[in-house]
Copies of this chain bind each other. A is one copy, B any other.
């Protein structure tokens, strides 16, 4: 942090803080804030602000921020909501970098609140002040003793917490307080994200020497795409772990009434966070432990875990838990097994998981011998010690404590020497024993829950791959369109829904592999086109007014050559009957194809993350099983490959049921091409290729639908594109 500090540095590590709304009344937040600052050991300047007081706890009180003689970095504003605008006005001429706005009653509280929030954002921007909140519990710089929250004791450590719930923050502080070795560097209650948003804290925390990992509790992000971008840039150095709530429908409803945030689709959120190299956890009881493991341990080079257990039960359960999380428990080499056999009783299992079978009952240094053998094994890149370690002194005989302490020291050294992550699960975690303290001092996590221990190992094992994929991702900032958006012009008339013929033509013109198609505008022409095609044909009515062709009786499959002309008439009559006012462009004629594997590929617009590519297996897989992969646009080849790996039933791509494997490269190319197409045509709000047939020879788009925005526009904000396009004509499909 050389040179003049940036605004965000002055906000996150201020040298001088004003408390606006400071109070002489000891029960008031405006008083407690001063107490907390003084007692927390904050060494910067503290300026109470209150027009009606002269002195609070030995400090001079100023009538306004503008009246403070020195430079103030940050103002903590504890006044009610309606006072905030005048406070910001008063700061117009000061060099204030930022303000923390505690008050509720803004956008989370309905229309009036939304107006007030817009007003303070506007004032803040005008006066060059960044805002944290409003509707926040505050912020804390733990190492500086700067506690603007009033939270009791926040254990010091290396985790930064960005949090959208004050009570969740208290929960996490409390959890850390009972888990030795876990603590915090910074806390920010991001509140309504009216100005400063989640992503804007990331570069500061990445550069902060006191922060090793970032923990986020997110209900909804106001700029998800910017978060992806900022996250991707820092994850190689600073891991980010996110707990996203509002996963269920009821949860979404609850989250939106809480912070006024939109809680988007959990499947999309999980997928795009993975794309950016962020680790997601689904359970709140895993958040802190996973983050702690990522902050203090090296990454594993592979998902291959060695399990060292002091009993068969723990060995078996650990193997189950690891398998459940996608970790592997490879056989140890013969050499390793011999080393283990040499120090363990005959009853021991030495294949992996290793069960010492009583071999450590009287001498816990045997754990070190075993760990040394396992860690040296080339098949293994991470180690879990599970069972009772650290509790032998408590459980069996006091003299074991010293043996365990020495063993703990050696285990930590071993792990450090081999740069191998080691996680210790112990039933005695709650006893805060000395051997556990030794492990924790060396950065080795000790956890009580086997499942939480496994979640931590899993994060360490997948983290490297994630960062590598993220590193190959494009920038998430959507570039301005590089070509003119001609699609909308092409179809004209303010229409938003392209016919299948128009959609296929646009795609085919762009080089997409579309099943051959042509438009017949008469029965004779239909017969002629069918004659040009080898084998039976598919015929579909084309009308700008009919979206659901099947419902209209407008689709005929497997039509023989002789029947093509009659079928043309049938389809047109059926369409006319379905909607007498529909204008008919003709009938689309294509050869019939064998399905191979049916895919659905599309682009949808996510509330938080913008345009997102989706891909799934056709039919029930998407519709019933919701087995769908998502990635934020623009897609790289690595992203597209990762999407296919995300599909649970992907076995079907690899030749299940006696079929030859699908040409994955062709699917990957198609996914990337879809991404490129939508970027180049920013008026496209929805694209649906359903079905796409894939087999060993490639892919073919069999049906396509494209929906445009009401008026041509670019994904990036562009204020020149206001036009008077008609506002009706939206499809509600």
User: Which A residues form the contact surface with B (CB < 8 A)?
Assistant: 104-105, 108-109, 152, 163-168, 170-171, 174-175, 178, 217, 219, 243, 245-251, 253-255, 257-259, 263, 282-285, 309-317, 319-324, 329, 346-347, 349, 351-353, 355, 387-388, 391, 394-395, 427-428, 430-431, 448-452, 619-620, 623-625, 648-649, 651-652, 656-657
Chain B residues, CB < 8 A from A317: 168, 243, 245, 251, 284
Closest to A351 in B: B253
Contact of A255 (CB < 8 Å), options: B217, B263, B316: B316
Chain B residues, CB < 8 A from A166: 311, 313
Chain B residues, CB < 8 A from A105: 347
Q: Report Cα–Cα, A388/B174, bound state, in Å.
A: 10
Q: Report Cα–Cα, A319/B263, bound state, in Å.
A: 13
Chain B residues, CB < 8 A from A109: 346-347
- Contacts A316-B246, A349-B254, A619-B657; is A283 near B451 (CB within 8 Å)? yes
Chain B residues, CB < 8 A from A648: 625
Chain B residues, CB < 8 A from A625: 625, 648-649
Chain B residues, CB < 8 A from A247: 320, 323-324
Chain B residues, CB < 8 A from A174: 391, 395, 427-428, 430-431
- Contacts A104-B347, A245-B320, A253-B351 known; list 8 others, CB within 8 Å: A165-B313, A171-B388, A174-B428, A245-B317, A250-B319, A251-B320, A257-B312, A258-B312
> Are A387's CB and B167's CB within 8 A?
yes
> Are B431's CB and A316's CB within 8 A?
no
Chain B residues, CB < 8 A from A428: 174
Closest approach, in angstroms, between the C-beta of A427 and any C-beta of chain B?
4
* 27 A-B pairs in the complex with CB atoms less than 8 angstroms apart: A109-B346, A109-B347, A165-B313, A167-B311, A170-B427, A171-B313, A174-B391, A175-B427, A178-B431, A219-B312, A219-B313, A248-B322, A250-B319, A250-B329, A251-B319, A253-B319, A253-B351, A254-B312, A254-B319, A254-B355, A257-B355, A258-B313, A258-B349, A258-B355, A283-B449, A285-B450, A430-B430
Contact of A251 (CB < 8 Å), options: B217, B263, B316, B649: B316
Contact of A257 (CB < 8 Å), options: B254, B311, B349, B431: B349
Closest approach, in angstroms, between the C-beta of A248 and any C-beta of chain B?
3
In the A-B complex, the 6 residue pairs with the closest CB atoms: A165-B313, A258-B312, A167-B311, A248-B323, A168-B313, A171-B427
Q: Report Cα–Cα, A600/B254, bound state, in Å.
A: 41
Closest approach, in angstroms, between the C-beta of A80 and any C-beta of chain B?
13
Q: Report Cα–Cα, A648/B621, bound state, in Å.
A: 12
> Are B323's CB and A448's CB within 8 A?
no
Closest approach, in angstroms, between the C-beta of A381 and any C-beta of chain B?
16
Q: Report Cα–Cα, A427/B316, bound state, in Å.
A: 31
Chain B residues, CB < 8 A from A309: 167
Chain B residues, CB < 8 A from A257: 312, 349, 351, 355
> Are A254's CB and B167's CB within 8 A?
no
Closest approach, in angstroms, between the C-beta of A127 and any C-beta of chain B?
28
> Are A167's CB and B310's CB within 8 A?
yes
Q: Report Cα–Cα, A219/B319, bound state, in Å.
A: 13
> Are A314's CB and B168's CB within 8 A?
yes
Closest approach, in angstroms, between the C-beta of A489 and any C-beta of chain B?
37
Closest to A173 in B: B427
Q: Report Cα–Cα, A141/B167, bound state, in Å.
A: 43
- Contacts A391-B174, A451-B285, A652-B620; is A255 near B427 (CB within 8 Å)? no
Closest approach, in angstroms, between the C-beta of A723 and any C-beta of chain B?
40
> Are B170's CB and A258's CB within 8 A?
no
> Are A452's CB and B258's CB within 8 A?
no
Closest approach, in angstroms, between the C-beta of A178 and any C-beta of chain B?
4
> Are B656's CB and A620's CB within 8 A?
yes
> Are A315's CB and B254's CB within 8 A?
yes
> Are B248's CB and A314's CB within 8 A?
no
> Are B657's CB and A623's CB within 8 A?
yes
> Are A167's CB and B320's CB within 8 A?
no
Q: Report Cα–Cα, A258/B309, bound state, in Å.
A: 12
Q: Report Cα–Cα, A465/B317, bound state, in Å.
A: 29
Which has the most chain B C-beta neighbours within 10 Å: A314, A320, A346, A387? A320
Closest approach, in angstroms, between the C-beta of A171 and any C-beta of chain B?
4
Chain B residues, CB < 8 A from A243: 317
Q: Report Cα–Cα, A657/B394, bound state, in Å.
A: 61
> Are A315's CB and B171's CB within 8 A?
no
Chain B residues, CB < 8 A from A311: 165-168
Chain B residues, CB < 8 A from A170: 388, 395, 427
Chain B residues, CB < 8 A from A248: 319-320, 322-324
Closest approach, in angstroms, between the C-beta of A235 and any C-beta of chain B?
24
Chain B residues, CB < 8 A from A450: 283-285
> Are B624's CB and A254's CB within 8 A?
no
Closest approach, in angstroms, between the C-beta of A575 and any C-beta of chain B?
19
Closest to A453 in B: B285
> Are B391's CB and A312's CB within 8 A?
no
Chain B residues, CB < 8 A from A178: 430-431
Q: Report Cα–Cα, A431/B174, bound state, in Å.
A: 9
Q: Report Cα–Cα, A729/B540, bound state, in Å.
A: 56
Q: Report Cα–Cα, A250/B217, bound state, in Å.
A: 35
Closest to A283 in B: B451
Q: Report Cα–Cα, A452/B286, bound state, in Å.
A: 12
Closest approach, in angstroms, between the C-beta of A564 and any C-beta of chain B?
23
Contact of A395 (CB < 8 Å), options: B152, B246, B310, B431: B152
Chain B residues, CB < 8 A from A164: 313
Chain B residues, CB < 8 A from A315: 254, 258
Chain B residues, CB < 8 A from A319: 248, 250-251, 253-254
Closest approach, in angstroms, between the C-beta of A454 and any C-beta of chain B?
10
Q: Report Cα–Cα, A430/B253, bound state, in Å.
A: 31
> Are A353's CB and B250's CB within 8 A?
yes
> Are A353's CB and B451's CB within 8 A?
no
> Are B285's CB and A452's CB within 8 A?
yes
Chain B residues, CB < 8 A from A431: 174, 178
Chain B residues, CB < 8 A from A104: 347
Q: Report Cα–Cα, A45/B41, bound state, in Å.
A: 64
Q: Report Cα–Cα, A321/B266, bound state, in Å.
A: 13
Q: Report Cα–Cα, A251/B351, bound state, in Å.
A: 12
Q: Report Cα–Cα, A651/B394, bound state, in Å.
A: 53
Closest to A452 in B: B285
Closest to A346 in B: B109
Which has the most chain B C-beta neighbours within 10 Å: A285, A347, A448? A285
